[in-house]
Structure 1
């Protein structure tokens, strides 16, 4: 995920190198939550289940092998390119200890940051409402 300009000063100068070590040396180019491989196109169902080309088996959203999968419609399958990012487990960008960092794919990173995204959404909506009150009179949805 891109770093917001207002938070850039919280990250160390060697953040790109630190992130690369976590993603490619420690995690060996795979998501540490679900196991999706970095840089590859992955077929998935949209609910977390994805097809592991290496093992020729389906995996659940947590990376566990699924014993069997019901017959699927071809239109239910989606394809996504996996990109790993380094996530802070405690959501504190100044805490860069290796045990606080994890290599996550887009899906796992969004799930990990879900509460923060909801908080930011509420804040944005409140700010829009306040601006409406300030310049346009009472806010009317």
Structure 2
């Protein structure tokens, strides 16, 4: 997921290096489903091909916690699925996802 401008200050200055290390650890594949970064997949809803872009998920939803054990390389589908419950809770409480 792109970093929201209002959250950018919560990430360390070396975020690009951290991201690269996590992608390397994951062999450039989603650590949940195994899909390869930048591969093309058919979107069953639209019938169109989409490019898979891996993102880095914070398992505890805290951008400041960049311990490798807290980070996973995930495709958009897995990242959104993982974050769904957290987003639901934070929206209900009036917080930000």
**TM value normalised by structure 1:** 0.59
Structure 1 unmatched runs, 5+: 47-74, 125-141
Root-mean-square deviation over aligned CA pairs? 2.0
In structure 2, the residue matched to 1:130 is: none
1:83 to 53, 59, 64: 53
Deviations 1:3-28 (A, max 9, x none): 122221111000011111101x1011
Q: Which secondary structure state, in structure 1, belongs to the residue aligned with residue 80 of structure 2?
A: helix
Q: 2:81, 2:60 → 1: CA distance? A: 14
Deviations 1:57-97 (A, max 9, x none): xxxxxxxxxxxxxxxxxx9x653311000110111111100
In structure 2, the residue matched to 1:93 is: 63
1:116 to 74, 86, 91: 86
**TM value normalised by structure 2:** 0.83
Alignment of 1:19-58 (within 5 A): 19-23=19-23, 25-43=24-42, 45=44
Q: 2:2, 2:75 → 1: CA distance? A: 14
Larger radius of gyration: 1
Count residues with an aligned counterpart. 94
In structure 1, the residue matched to 2:6 is: 6
Name segments (4+ residues, structure 1) moved above 6 Å: none
